[in-house]
Structure formats: C-alpha cells, structure tokens
Structure 1
Amino acid sequence: MIAAGHGNAITSRLIHRANTEADWYLYAPVCALVEADRARPGTAEHLAALPGIMVLDLDLPGALAVAREETWAAAHTRHSAQPTAERPDGAFLATAAPERWTGQPVRVLDVNP
C-alpha cells in the first residue's frame, strides 16, 4: 500500500487495471490500511477512495486470526488472501517485501521494479 504512494509502476498498473476492468479487484484489509496510514499519513483515505479497491472489514474469522498473530496487518492480510466462497482460489499478496511472506501459505506478487 505504501509502494502505491511512492510512484511504484507495478502498483500503479494494478490500481489502473482494477479501475478499468470488470471482474478485476484489489483488496485492502482494513488492518493493513491502518498500518500503512501510520507509516504514511493519508494512505488509507486515498486508497479507500479509489473505486477499484475493495476494503475488507475485520470480521469474526479475521479477528480470530489477528488474535493469534504478532501484527494485526500481517494477520489480516494473510487471512484475507485465503480462499473464500467469493475467491475460491484465494488472492495474491502484492508486496514490496516478498521475503516477509516466505514460508507462509500465501501466493505473493512481488511489486519491486
């Protein structure tokens, strides 16, 4: 999320695609929005205002996942990437820190140039 605000070309393309193509979505777990906004104030409001970004609320299963982890953002992000009825294959994590997810049960999209 922070990479999007730093002129990262890959995240800009992802956001553009989510805004222009039907059935193509970017998800923003609310706990990750909070952490991104703490690191760079204004990030959460900006991303939440973009029409192609779907903000994922912290529901009960997400809260239970968060309760077992060190950081809320990582736990909610990992939980949000898992398969659901709406996303049977789960979701990719677009990240500028792919090493953070090594060994985790998630699919990663490295957005580093």
Structure 2
Amino acid sequence: MTDTVHVILDETAMTAAGAGNPLVSRLIHRAHTETGWRLYAPACALVEAGRAHPGTAEHLTALPGLTVLDLDLPAVLAVTQQTDWAHAHTWHTARPTPDRPDGAIIATTTPKRWKGAPVRVLDLSP
C-alpha cells in the first residue's frame, strides 16, 4: 500500500464540481493543498461533464492539481467493450497500474452506479 491517495473523478463528480457541490470542492481543494493526494479526470468523462454542464471542462482543466488522463490504446480497448464511454474510461483508469499500484478511488455523486464493480468509491452525493 502506498501513501499516495489517487482519486478519479467520474463525470457526475465533475458535473457536480461545475454546479458548485461543496463536497467536490473540498476534495479538489484537498488534492491541491495536501501532499500525497492526486486527482484525475478521464478524458471521456470530462467530455460528458462538459456536455452536461457547459464550462465544466474548461474550469476543471484550469485547476493546477488535476491531471487529465488521455484515451490511450489500453483505454480505447476497454471503452470498446461498453456503450458508455465515460463510465468505461473511468473504470479503466481506476484499475491498478505501475503508477497507481493500488488502483484509484472513484469519486462520484451516483455511488449505486458502481455497485458490484471491483472499484473503491467515494460518495460525493449531497
């Protein structure tokens, strides 16, 4: 287990950030100010958040503590297995990698959506 906390924002958490959800705002602040916190936005989820709440993608990508995760070849292959690109890319990026050996936590406002998935979830619903 590492000392770094890796958190992936799904499109619902990103949309909530754009709408001023205080829980998401606190998470973003924590990732920006505390050592060992890393915050990520899968590109496909960022697209959906920007569609749902215009201006969200621009706002989030301007944050210094947020890393946008590209749609690389392994992610493309994962996305082709599902119809919901945002969900598939988020799930794929939460899996363990050499950079994130313990995987990542998915921050969401719809935790039931991830029920049964082999991922850790942070409930940011109001």
Could you tell me the TM-score, scaled by structure 2's length? 0.86
Bigger share in strand:
2
Q: Which runs of 5+ in 2 are unaligned?
A: 1-13
1:89-100 → structure 2 map (5 Å cutoff): 89-100=102-113
How far, CA to CA, are the matches of 1:12 and 1:39 in structure 2? 18
Specify the alignment match of 2:114 in structure 1: 101
Identify the residue that residue 9 of structure 2 maps to in structure 1. none
Determine whether 1:49 maps to 2:62. Answer: yes
The separation in 2 between residues aligned to 1:56 and 1:31, in whole angstroms, is 9
Distance in 1 (alpha carbons) for counterparts of 2:76 and 2:99: 19
Deviation above 3 Å: which 4+ runs of structure 1? none
Shift of residue 22, structure 1, vs aligned partner: 2.4
> Which segments of 5 or more consecutive residues in structure 1 lack a partner in the other structure?
none
> Quick one: higher RCO (CA 8 Å, sep 6+), 1 or 2?
2
Select 2:92's aligned residue among 79, 104, 112: 79
Say if 2:19 and 2:53, in contact at 8 Å, map to a contact too. Answer: no
From 6, 22, 40, the counterpart of 2:35: 22
CA distance in 2, matches of 1:104, 1:38: 25
Distance 2:35 2:116 in 1: 32
Aligned residues: 113
CA distance in 2, matches of 1:2, 1:43: 7
Paired position in structure 2 for 1:111: 124
- The alignment's C-alpha RMSD in Å is 0.9
TM-score in terms of structure 1 length: 0.96
Cα offset for 1:105?
A: 1.3
Aligned partner of 2:4 in structure 1 is: none
Instruction: State the identity as a percent.
Output: 67
